[in-house]
Chains A and B, each alone.
Chain A
Amino acid sequence: MAAIPVSRQAVQVARVPPPPGRLEQFERVWRQLRRNRLSLLGSMIVVTLVMIALAAPFLGLANPVKLNIAQRFLAPGAGHWFGTDQLGRDVLSRVVFGARVSLMTSISTMVLAALPGVLLGIGAGVSAAWLSSVTMRLMDLLMSFPPLLLAVAVAAALGTGTRSIMIALAVVYLPRIVRVTRGIALSVVAQEYLVAAQALGSPRWRLVLRTVLPNCLSVVVVQLSLYFAEVLLAEAALSFLGLGEPPPTPTWGNILQDSQKYIRNAPWIAVFPGCAIALSVLGLNLFGDAVRDAMDPRLRT
């Protein structure tokens, strides 16, 4: 296998900003960020979407699962901004409530993949050569399956449902996170201030906890925000295939799955959930790219 991380973001994060003086660094990043309106726009999109999802029950929306056959296939208009679906349910309300499931699944997936992933990655970066090598070969093995197929395989073994989507996607992203984190940890370990601290006799665990970990985290978090965007897309694809939460509970993916049959007469059922997915992924990408560029001016394009 080519020893190069899989995604476009990973390709560019192999290097790490000059670390010490973290407060100083934070200020520099913050200044850069404020200047960059795109990152602001990105984070605003993400925050707004999360808030709408959280506040969904209090927004006075129609019940997303209540049937109303008399009002089926209504085109978008004053009463129903996004129209109604084949069972007369309000599409706007289904998209908003779908955000809760889709975002929640993606966030849980990221936690499930990132906690062990970051620990393993830092572990592999600072541990003995053979241990690091064993870990990385295992991760290589996981990465030699095409991503979506690995997720499908795991879902086949575990059965469908939100839980298996989360586990499946966590298995897909774990090796990617481990690989990126290890790369970052390795370059932090090679820094002179770390060699100096070691020479002064700081115990190893303390170096790892107080120096390596915090210096890695800032870079890792940016990478995670970009992976989050990918997870969101993958979650939508899996639930579009019918592997996720079963109906009537709406998710962005399963609304789109339902909408397929009616695209001839009611295309609006398909249009809006996709816009919601694209908008949130766009927000995360804008945010992640901008923060990455701000943290390392050398990478700016």
Chain B
Amino acid sequence: MPPLLRHILTRLVALVPMLLALSIASFALVHVIPGDPALVMLGGEGTPQQVAELRQQLGLNRPLHVRYWEWLTRVVHGDLGESLYNKTRVTDELVWRFPTTLALVGLSLLISVGIGVPAGLISAVRRDTWIDHGARLLTLISLSMPSFWLGLMLIILFSLKLNLVPIVGYTSVVNDFWSGLRFLILPSCALGTYLTALLARLVRSSVLEVLGHEYIRTARAKGLREQVVLFRHALRNALIPAVTVLGINLGILLGGSAVIETLFVLPGVGQLVITALYNRDLPVIQGLILYISVLYVLINLAVDILYTYLDPRLRLG
């Protein structure tokens, strides 16, 4: 069996206990918390009869392992539960909200890579010039700002003062892609700035490290053009750590999207999590947490495989 294939299979097998553990953890969130979940959901104010009804509805009167098994069976069949608040099915909500979150995270990612990688490269090549110092200062500042505050500042500047970008009247990217995208520009900038700075910083230091290697000197000694040395030899090797950091930080984007969607009133998955939290809608939170963390684990697996593919040394090891 080719090593890469074996590596992928090993990772897939290792995924099974991980997914089981995630499902147990998400289940435990609702059912093992201190106090009666029914009382918690009612905000501690229900009449005894209401509490009894909710207990019945949630199936709280049956043993824990039976409930877990039933829940897991339903989840595997694509039923993530039902909102206590307005009776909608979590799966239905996900289907229409997911494109917005995907577009938001995708656009942020695009901004981060599109700006962060070139900035890091230029910073490294022009080391210790004013360009480098300026870029590093900007990086430091970007890493220090809360994304939602940056979002507020962007709204004040670009929507209220300059009137360039609309903030109310979002139509889903599914219905009208380009119109929806216009509403996502500011949120994506706010969400992507942190990752952009992180990437710029990482690419800078790893390009500098790679440039110190002997094979770069060899490439230059061969008489290769500087551009070829930079792009084909230096940047390509320097990007390997960037891919890992990108994969891991997708979690930050996913989590951050909750705050940004709430601020910009975008109907995404993250906003649903926060709304459910305000309503103490535990079944919805449970379903979403499971869904998003499984997604996160799968993304990390994909990144890991990509990483092995990019770096042949890992395949042999």
**Residue contact A146 to B152, C-beta cutoff 8 Å:** no
Given the known interface contacts A2-B300, A301-B205, the answer about A148 and B259 at a Cβ–Cβ threshold of 8 Å is yes
Asked if A145 contacts B285 (CB within 8 A), the reply is: no
Q: Whole-angstrom distance between the alpha carbons of A229 and B198 in the complex? A: 14
- Check if B146 sits within 8 Å of A274, measured CB to CB: yes
Query: Nearest CB to that of A237 among chain B residues?
Result: B259
Asked whether B252 is an interface residue with its Cβ less than 8 Å from the other chain, the reply is yes
* A237 proximity list for chain B (CB < 8 A): 146-148, 256, 259
Q: Tell whether, in the assembled complex, residue A256 and residue B255 are in contact, meaning their CB atoms are under 8 Å apart.
A: no
Q: Tell yes or no: B292 within 8 A of A by CB.
A: yes
B:1-40 near A, CB below 8 Å? 18, 21-22, 25, 29-30, 33, 40
- The answer to whether B208 has its CB under 8 Å from any CB of chain A is yes
Docked pose: A11 CA to B240 CA in angstroms: 13
A242 near B278 with CB under 8 A, answer: yes
In the complex, how many angstroms separate the beta carbon of A49 from the nearest chain B beta carbon? Answer: 13
Asked if A233 contacts B156 (CB within 8 A), the reply is no
Contact of A8 among B245, B259, B263, B296 (CB under 8 A): B245
Q: Is the interface of B mostly helix, strand, loop or mixed?
A: helix
CB distance from A143 to the nearest CB of B (A): 9
Contact B289 A145 (CB under 8 A): yes
Chain A contacts of B29 at CB under 8 A?
153, 156-157
Q: Is B104 in the interface zone, CB < 8 Å from A?
A: no
The answer to the question of B49 belonging to the interface, with a C-beta cut-off of 8 Å to chain A, is: no
Chain A 234-279 residues near chain B, CB threshold 8 A: 236-237, 240-243, 256, 259-260, 263-264, 267, 270-271, 273-274, 277-279
Contact B143 A285 (CB under 8 A): yes
Which residues of chain B come closer than 8 Å to A156, judged between CB atoms? 29, 276-277, 280, 282, 285
Structural contact, A11 and B245, CB atoms closer than 8 A: yes
Do B307 and A2 touch across chains, with their CB atoms under 8 A apart? yes
Give the total number of A-B pairs whose CB atoms are below 8 A apart.
150
Which of the residues A11, A141, A153, A285 comes within 8 Å of B241, measured between beta carbons? A11
- The answer to whether A145 and B293 have CB atoms under 8 Å apart is yes
- How far apart are the CA atoms of A263 and B280 in the complex, in Å? 29
Q: Considering the chains assembled together, what is the distance between the CA atoms of A260 and B260 in angstroms? A: 13
Given A8-B198, A281-B144, A153 and B285 contact (CB-CB distance below 8 Å): yes
Which residues of A sit under 8 angstroms from B202, Cβ to Cβ?
8, 11
**Known contacts A240-B259, A301-B205; is A146 also within 8 Å of B274 by CB?**
no
**Is residue B145 within 8 Å, beta carbon to beta carbon, of the partner chain?**
yes
In-complex Cβ contact of B293 among A6, A144, A264, A267 (8 A):
A144
Residues of B within 8 A of A263 (CB): 152, 155-156, 160
Interface flags for B292-317 (1: CB within 8 Å of A; 0: not) read 11001100100110010000000000
CB distance from A17 to the nearest CB of B (A): 18
Q: Give A278 to B149 CA distance when docked, in angstroms.
A: 9
Question: With an 8 A cutoff between CB atoms, is A147 at the interface?
Answer: yes
The reply to whether the CB of B244 lies closer than 8 angstroms to some CB of chain A is: yes
Return the CB mask of B242-260 against A: 1 if under 8 Å, else 0: 0011011101101110110
Which residues on B sit within 8 Å (CB–CB) of A146?
251-252, 254-255, 292-293, 296
Partner of B252, one of A147, A158, A159: A147
Question: Known contacts being A146-B292, A263-B160, is A271 close to B285, with CB within 8 Å?
Answer: no
Q: Smallest distance from the beta carbon of B38 to chain A beta carbons, Å? A: 14
Judged by a CB distance under 8 angstroms, whether B110 is at the interface is no
**Are B258 and A4 in touch, CB under 8 angstroms?**
no
Distance of A150 from chain B, by nearest CB (Å): 8
How far apart are the CA atoms of A273 and B145 in the complex, in Å? 11
Q: Which of B148, B150, B248, B280 contacts A2 (CB 8 A)?
A: B248
Taking a contact as CB atoms under 8 Å apart, the answer to whether B274 and A241 are in contact is: yes
List chain B residues, Cβ under 8 A from A242: 278
Q: Quick one: CB contact mask for A1-14 with B, threshold 8 Å, 1 for yes?
A: 11010101001000
Q: Are A4 and B204 in contact (CB under 8 A)?
A: no
Q: Does B201 contact A (CB under 8 A)?
A: yes
Most A C-beta atoms less than 10 A away, residue of B248, B292, B303: B248
B276 / chain A contacts, CB cutoff of 8 Å: 156
Q: How far, in whole Å, are A73 and B102 apart by their CA atoms in the complex?
A: 38
Question: Given A141-B21, A147-B252, A153-B289, are A285 and B160 neighbors across the interface (CB < 8 Å)?
Answer: no
Closest-CB distance, B46 to chain A (whole angstroms)? 15
Expressed in whole angstroms, the Cα–Cα distance for A141 and B294 within the complex equals 11
Complex-state Cα separation, A270 to B148, whole angstroms:
11
Pair A274/B149 contact, Cβ less than 8 Å = yes
Interface string of A118-153 (1 = CB under 8 A from B): 000000000000000000000011001111110011
B84 within 8 A of A: no
Are B141 and A278 in touch, CB under 8 angstroms? yes
Determine whether the beta carbon of A277 is less than 8 Å from that of B198: no
> A294–B160 Cα gap in the complex (Å)?
45
- Complex: A11 Cα to B198 Cα, angstroms: 12
Bound-state Cα–Cα, A264 to B155, Å: 9
Q: Is B140 on the interface with A (CB-CB < 8 A)?
A: yes
Give the docked Cα–Cα distance between A171 and B300 (Å): 21
B263 lies within 8 A of A260 (CB): yes
Give the residues from 157 to 188 in chain B that come closer than 8 angstroms, CB to CB, to chain A: 160
9 closest A-B pairs by CB: A148-B255, A274-B149, A146-B251, A282-B144, A281-B144, A301-B205, A157-B33, A146-B255, A146-B254
7 example contacts (A-B, Cβ-Cβ < 8 A) are as follows A8-B201, A146-B254, A237-B147, A263-B152, A278-B141, A281-B144, A281-B145
**Which residues of B are interface residues toward A (Cβ below 8 A)?**
18, 21-22, 25, 29-30, 33, 40, 140-141, 143-150, 152-153, 155-156, 160, 198, 201-202, 204-205, 208, 241, 244-245, 247-249, 251-252, 254-256, 258-259, 262-263, 273-274, 276-278, 280, 282, 285, 289, 292-293, 296-297, 300, 303-304, 307
